[in-house]
Amino acid sequence: MEFVLYEQKGAVGVITISREKALNALNSTVLEELDKTLDAVNLDEVRALILTGAGEKSFVAGADIGEMSSLTKAEGEAFGKKGNDVFRKLETFPIPVIAAINGFALGGGCEIAMSCDIRICSENAVFGQPEVGLGITPGFGGTQRLARLVGAGMAKQMIYTARNIKADEAFRIGLVNAVYPAEELMPAAEKMAADIAKNAPIAVRNCKKAINEGLDVDMDAAIVIEEKLFGDCFETEDQTYGMAFFLDKNKEKVKEPFKNC
């Protein structure tokens, strides 16, 4: 791959968008490579993903403005779909994805972060949806996910004014869960991913599905989704083992890793 790096560290996969000379901006090739990278993740071994950007300045500075500058109406719509398809794949990816936002997260950069399950950032991170200043709307899910994450009022303010916000404000409005000094960001992301990976993998996947799918429907339908996924866990060896371990009163016992089955 030219612009997307992937490394598996035990049960954690790290995806790095690496197009540093354009501050990791998303052109068509980056989007295609991201799509292929997700398809290649070994889901028998990997239990959580981290998404980050190469370098110390930028997570992702948006969709590639040079590539977009000459698009027609139909091409613009197709480019939006290309981004939306891969971001939706990330959002519905079976295992949790942590965005480790190490700098600019503007436009498509803020949008890809919002497609992840959890966002943490470095103190130098900057967030924003600058699209209306370029004569376009946010096109990779920003109008939808920002409103769902921080509320319609704050999302409208950010999108209509195109004003960037710093890490502390992103934390205050709930766009990120935590802010770290730059050098502590990846260790924190890796620790969080490892904590997730220690838990029963099928249960974790079912939690992601229940939260995501439940948020799209009313509460009556949502709790039915939860009941089904809760019930499914009782067919797993992880549930048999996890509960037997708790009930076993032998103090010498050591907890085995969950088996993913």
Residues with catalytic function: 111, 131
The 123-142 contact track toward ligand CAA, x by CB under 6 A, reads -------xx--x---xxx-x
- How far is residue 27's CA from residue 19's CA, in Å, rounded to a whole number? 10
> Among residues 103 and 201, whose Cβ is nearest to ligand CAA?
103
Contacts to ligand CAA from residues 104-123, by CB under 6 A: 104, 106-108, 111
53 touches ligand CAA by CB under 6 A: no
Give the 3-state secondary structure of residue 187.
helix
> Smallest distance, Å, CB 26 to ligand CAA?
7
Residues 4-23 that bind ligand CAA (CB under 6 A): 22-23
- Angle of helix 73-91 relative to helix 28-40, nearest 10 degrees, comes to 30
How many residues interact with ligand CAA (rule CB under 6 A)? 22
* Nearest residue (CB) to ligand CAA, 13 versus 139: 139
Binding test (CB under 6 A) with ligand CAA, winner from 13, 53, 83, 96: 83
C-beta closer to ligand CAA: residue 64 or 238:
64
Q: What is the enclosing helix (H) or strand (E) of 83? A: helix 73-91
Residue 64 within binding range of ligand CAA, rule CB under 6 A:
yes
**DSSP letters along 202-241, please?**
HHHHHHHHHHHHHHTS-HHHHHHHHHHHHHHHTTSHHHHH
Q: How far is the CB of 1 from ligand CAA (least distance, A)?
A: 19
Given the complex with ligand CAA, which of 143 and 239 has the nearer CB atom?
Answer: 143
Closest among 186, 77, 223 to 140, alpha carbons compared: 77
- The single residue listed with the structure tokens 């950069």 is 109
Given phi > 0 = left and psi -120 to 50 = alpha, else beta, which region is 24?
left
Q: Locate 184 and state its tokens.
A: 């502590």
User: According to the binding rule CB under 6 A, does residue 25 interact with ligand CAA?
Assistant: yes
Q: Which pairing describes strands 4-9 and 12-17: parallel, antiparallel, or unpaired?
A: antiparallel
Which chain residues interact with ligand CAA by CB under 6 A? Answer: 22-23, 25, 61-66, 83, 104, 106-108, 111, 130-131, 134, 138-140, 142
